[in-house]
Amino acid sequence: MASNRHLGRIIALQTLYEQDFRRSAADADFDLEAVLKRNITRYEATVDDTSFVEDLVRGVTKLETELDTLLQPLAPEWPIDQIARMDRVVLRIGAYELTYGKGVPPKVVINEAVELAKAFGSENSSKFINGVLGTLLRKQNGEDISIPRPKKAPVSDDDASDDSPDDSSSEQKETA
């Protein structure tokens, strides 16, 4: 059942990714139910729990605005619409399962989201997904998630001549 659910999440990811993409392209002919049916049919021989996939896709779609509102404060330097499409969809799935899912331990939900990010996202996607969903879980558990940001270290005389910008904290944004 576990690997079946993993495949189910992949199908949900494909469906929700296509929805996000086609919506951004203003595709008036997009039919979520038809795409969901098509994607489930492709894997019908190996997916037994199609209701899991359907519930995941419909739940994320129905609560997308609420999920985005929940996620935005957890990554304030990354507006939802500027997060890479794949990462955004994986985050929504993970946030939905953490918030509304039943019967799946939170650590499994996060691990599954990280695995999806590793398989389908960019090089840093899994770390980003893990950080945001881990913070969401801590917030849901009532833990204090306010982490003081370190102030910029003072420049020493040796560093003063180094004119190169510090680019170590930049993340890749989706450009297309």
pLDDT at 145: 58
- Between helix 2-24 and helix 50-62 the angle, nearest 10°, is 40
pLDDT averaged over every residue in the chain: 84
pLDDT at 154: 34
Q: Give the rounded percent of residues in the chain with a pLDDT score beyond 70.
A: 80
Rg (CA), the chain: 19
Instruction: Give me the domains of the chain, ranges plus CATH numbers.
Output: 2-140 (1.10.940.10)
Long-range contacts of 71-74 (CB under 8 A, 24+ apart): 71/95, 71/132, 71/136, 74/132, 74/135, 74/136, 74/139, 74/145
DSSP letter (8 states) at residue 103: S
Q: How far is CA 43 from CA 7, 10, 30, 40, 46, in A?
A: 9, 11, 21, 5, 6
Question: Does residue 116 register a pLDDT over 90?
Answer: yes
Question: What pLDDT, in 10s, does the model give residues 6-56?
Answer: 999 999 999 999 999 999 999 999 999 999 999 999 998 999 889 999 999
The pLDDT-based confidence of 69 (bands split at 50, 70, 90) is very high
On the 0-12 / 13-18 / 19+ scale of CB atoms within 10 A, 151 is exposed
pLDDT at 77: 87
Q: Are 71 and 80 in contact (CB under 8 A)?
A: yes
The pLDDT-based confidence of 142 (bands split at 50, 70, 90) is confident
Q: SS3 letters for 56-84? A: HHHHHHHCHHHHHHHHHHHCCCCCHHHCC
Name the one residue in this structure whose structure tokens are 């659910």: 5
pLDDT at 146: 58
Which phi and psi (to 5°) does residue 150 adopt? -65, 145
Alpha helices in 121-153 (DSSP H): 125-140
Say what the pTM is: 0.79
Length of the chain: 176
